[in-house]
Amino acid sequence: MGSLDGKVALVTGAASGIGKAIAERYAREGAAVAIADIDRQAADAAAAAIRAAGGRAVGVAMDVTDEPAVDAGTDAVVQAFGALDILVSNAGVQIVNPIESFAFAAWKKMLAIHLDGAFLTTRAALRHMYRDDRGGTVIYMGSVHSHEASVLKAPYVTAKHGLLGLARTLAKEGAPHNVRSHVICPGFVRTPLVEKQIPEQARELGLSEEEVIRNVMLRHTVDGVFTTLEDVAQTALFLAAFPSAALTGQSITVSHGWHMR
């Protein structure tokens, strides 16, 4: 018996990193999972790997900033699996630069992927979750940067703070329909998104890569340790499997103590 037996989950950005780890964990707990990603090939490969391990999964080509693609992809998941119980709005990218030289196009791209993507996938999911008030859980992938700022990351910090507002609004609007919402706020996890940032930040800040890891990324943790994919997937499982609205509208920080409140 898995804790998500009979549930259907759609995870965006699930062809890589954190999203992939959550999708795999959900599948092991019995959920049918949709691996939605802009990278169609990688999404199909991740879904095939889950099926090869005995789980249920489909790959879905979805750019989360594309309204028709989000609506059609979400409807296709419901067609395939009969329902939608869990949305993990996780797709994200990082672009680092100081504010004074941040290109407007790059700013807009960041807000589009992180905020428009969260809104569009939420709206598409609610059309199914609200039907007969069957309900569901929506989890946004925030960050410690939902609560803290760091230099060079203005649109990322802005967008990740914004997700708290969306999640809290959804907690209130969704309650009569049995929909709950949460934001998971990880510290640094060594995914492709973070590996790319290490040399970029080293260049921008004039530090060695080792110094970026030790003195920037892990500086405020209690133990100098990276958060792992498993840490985040375990948290996403706990929130998705939680049985009541006692837990809704919350942000849960998973970060080795970087930012406590």
Rule CB under 6 A: which residues touch ligand NAD? Answer: 12-13, 15-19, 37-39, 62-65, 90-93, 113, 141, 143, 186, 188-189, 191-194
CB 88 within 8 A of CB 236: yes
Helix axes 154-174, 104-111, angle to 10 degrees: 30
Active site residues: 156
Q: Which is nearer to ligand NAD, 82 or 222 (CB)?
A: 222
Q: Which is nearer to ligand NAD, 76 or 175 (CB)?
A: 76
Q: Which is nearer to ligand NAD, 82 or 224 (CB)?
A: 224
CB of 83 to ligand NAD, least distance (A): 22
107-142 as b/e: b if 16+ CB within 10 A? beebbbbbbbbbbbbbebbbebbbeeeebbbbbbbb
Q: Which is nearer to ligand NAD, 235 or 248 (CB)?
A: 235
CB of 248 to ligand NAD, least distance (A): 21
Q: Which amino acid makes up residue 196?
A: K
Distance, first Cα to last Cα, the chain: 35
Backbone CA torsion sign across 200, 201, 207, 208: negative
Q: Which amino acid makes up residue 32?
A: A
CB of 133 to ligand NAD, least distance (A): 29
DSSP E strand stretches across 20-143: 32-37, 56-61, 86-89, 136-141
Gap between the Cα atoms of 149 and 155, Å rounded:
10
CB of 32 to ligand NAD, least distance (A): 20
Q: Which is nearer to ligand NAD, 81 or 188 (CB)?
A: 188
CB of 175 to ligand NAD, least distance (A): 25
Gap between the Cα atoms of 211 and 191, Å rounded:
18
